[in-house]
Amino acid sequence: MIPFAERMSRLGTETAFEVLAKARALEAKGRTVIHLEIGEPDFDTPENIRRAAKKAIDEGYTHYGPSAGQPALRETIAREVSGAWGVEVNPDQVVVTPGAKPIMFFAILALINPGDEVIYPNPGFPIYESVIEFVGGKAVPIVLREENDFEMDIDELRNLITPQTRMLIINSPENPTGGVLSKENLSAIADMVRGKNIIVLTDDIYHRIIYEGEHHSIFSEPEMASQTILLNGYSKSYAMTGWRLGYGVMPADLAQKIAQLQTNSNSCTCSFTQMAGIEALRGPQDAVTKMVTEFRRRRDVIVEGLNAIDGISCLKPRGAFYVFPNVTQTGLNCRQLADRLLQEGGVAALPGTSFGQHGDGYLRFSYANSVANIEEGLARIRHTLESL
Ligand code: PLP
């Protein structure tokens, strides 16, 4: 047997990909599966963006580029972020990566020493906890509770901050709960950490997918840009998951270190994808608006449908494209339930524990699927639960 490095025992994973593989195996045997597990828009990438990529290939953007990203894209992102958040951002604060995920990995690798504490949302995107533990940091969960509309409790957060706290991760709108941090709470969080030796990693990947009110970012709170890493990308807003394009905005000296990590790993992000990323930000935004309108319609269908099923209760999320219903009244734990829904009902969903121990008692459904499929999924869930 190959002896793996000790650190590999601390690396977690993202279960969505495992459930997807199980679902595909069932499909290979002739079963139909309604896919409500994977977090990716089912829309095509808008046409103007696809066209820009083809043009970039023909123009020769097929070579290595600078590790931190194509200068024109870094400039476009700097302008976009300055405009959105009212904070002056320079291109040397921007690092472009293959998807936004490497920003998490690189930031934690660059900043967290063994024993340092990192506060992260739980239930939350599983990669946070995984990478914190991988580097030997101490993962400190801030529990997001249903009774709090899955928003962080500010007093609880205050109690978790210690002299060892080096990083606070926030994610709004949140995966898996769809929870959104209010401006009031963001200001309170900023007041709590401002001027301390704590970096805030704000995962704003769902910032365009919001149904009520506006999205706020801690990045725009007074003086916070100098201790914040803003993570964002193209996967969700522009239906570009497979293109692998994301970015981080951070203080320039940290950006240099992150670019160095990129030199040591990916070398750079795909050059023609980056050129398409310029068009995505500068071109018409109506495709984004249309997608969000459609997501809102689907959200309403799935929330109403789930609440009509005995044993399930579901809050109406304010952002992202996930619901996180409480399934404790079904009599099964969430892992058993997800398994039976897949094997017996042909519906792929994720158990809440895929998002950390505090996701126990919940399932996550992604509604990035057609209304027809969502309705078929709901009928299958009802039928499976009735026959338990
Ligand atoms: N952050 C959150 C909260 C996510 O849910 C995801 C993807 O599921 C990402 C980041 C990563 O996105 P990307 O495809 O840009 O790597």
pLDDT by residue (tens digit) across 100-109? 999 999 999 9
Q: Which of 235, 237, 234, 239 is nearest to 47 (CA)?
A: 239
Q: Kindly state if the Cβ of 351 falls inside 6 Å of ligand 1.
A: no
Q: Kindly state if the Cβ of 377 falls inside 6 Å of ligand 1.
A: no
pLDDT above 70 covers a percentage of the chain that reads: 100
Q: Which amino acid, 336? A: Q
**Structure confidence at residue 179 (pLDDT):** 95
Nearest residue (CA) to ligand 1, atom 11: 101
Q: What is the pLDDT of residues 49-66, one digit of tens each?
A: 999 999 999 999 999 999
Domain boundaries, given as residue ranges, for the chain: 6-44+286-386, 47-282
Q: Which of 50, 97, 73 is nearest to 269 (CA)?
A: 97
Residues linked to residue 229 through DSSP beta bridges, in sequence order: 201
Q: Kindly state if the Cβ of 241 falls inside 6 Å of ligand 1.
A: yes
Å from CA of 236 to ligand 1 middle: 8
Å from CA of 101 to ligand 1 middle: 6
Å from CA of 234 to ligand 1 middle: 9
Residues linked to residue 140 through DSSP beta bridges, in sequence order: 119
**Structure confidence at residue 214 (pLDDT):** 86
Q: Kindly state if the Cβ of 176 falls inside 6 Å of ligand 1.
A: no
Angle of helix 286-307 versus helix 371-386 axis, rounded to 10: 20
Given the CA of residue 234, which atom of ligand 1 is nearest to it?
15
Question: Domain 47-282 classified CATH 3.40.605.10?
Answer: no
Å from CA of 293 to ligand 1 middle: 21
Distance from C-alpha of 170 to C-alpha of 216, rounded to nearest angstrom: 12
With a cut of 90, say whether residue 388 has pLDDT above it. no
Q: Kindly state if the Cβ of 305 falls inside 6 Å of ligand 1.
A: no
Residue count of the chain: 388
Distance from C-alpha of 139 to C-alpha of 44, rounded to nearest angstrom: 37
Q: Kindly state if the Cβ of 237 falls inside 6 Å of ligand 1.
A: no
Encode 190-230 in three state secondary structure: HHHHCCCCCEEEEECCCCCCECCCCCCCHHHCCCCHHHEEE
Fold of the domain spanning 6-44+286-386: Aspartate Aminotransferase, domain 1 (3.90.1150)
**Structure confidence at residue 29 (pLDDT):** 94
Q: Which of 365, 357, 368 is nearest to 381 (CA)?
A: 365
Q: Which of 125, 150, 201, 322 to mutate to test the pocket of ligand 1 (most atoms within 8 A of CB)?
A: 125
Å from CA of 232 to ligand 1 middle: 8
Q: What is the pLDDT of residues 255-311, one digit of tens each?
A: 999 999 999 999 999 999 999 999 999 999 999 999 999 999 999 999 999 999 999
Q: Kindly state if the Cβ of 311 falls inside 6 Å of ligand 1.
A: no
Residue 325 banded pLDDT, cuts 50, 70, 90:
very high
Question: Among positive and negative, which fits the CA dihedral 143, 145, 148, 150?
Answer: positive
Encode the chain in three state secondary structure: CCCCCHHHHHCCCCHHHHHHHHHHHHHHCCCCCEECCCCCCCCCCCHHHHHHHHHHHHCCCCCCCCCCCCHHHHHHHHHHHHHHHCCCCCHHHEEEECCCHHHHHHHHHHHCCCCCEEEEEECCCHHHHHHHHHCCCEEEEEECCHHHCCCCCHHHHHHHCCCCEEEEEEECCCCCCCCCCCHHHHHHHHHHHCCCCCEEEEECCCCCCECCCCCCCHHHCCCCHHHEEEEEECCCCCCCHHHCCEEEECCHHHHHHHHHHHHHCCCCCCHHHHHHHHHHHHCCCHHHHHHHHHHHHHHHHHHHHHHCCCCCECCCCCECCEECCECHHHCCCHHHHHHHHHHHHCEECEEHHHHCHHHCCEEEEECCCCHHHHHHHHHHHHHHHHCC
Question: Could you tell me if 165 and 119 are in contact, meaning their C-beta atoms sit under 8 angstroms apart?
Answer: yes
With a cut of 90, say whether residue 15 has pLDDT above it. no
Q: Kindly state if the Cβ of 368 falls inside 6 Å of ligand 1.
A: no
**What average pLDDT score do residues 126-136 get?**
97
With a cut of 90, say whether residue 39 has pLDDT above it. no
Question: Could you tell me if 68 and 90 are in contact, meaning their C-beta atoms sit under 8 angstroms apart?
Answer: no
pTM: 0.96
- Residue partners of 63: CB distance under 8 A and separation at least 6: 271
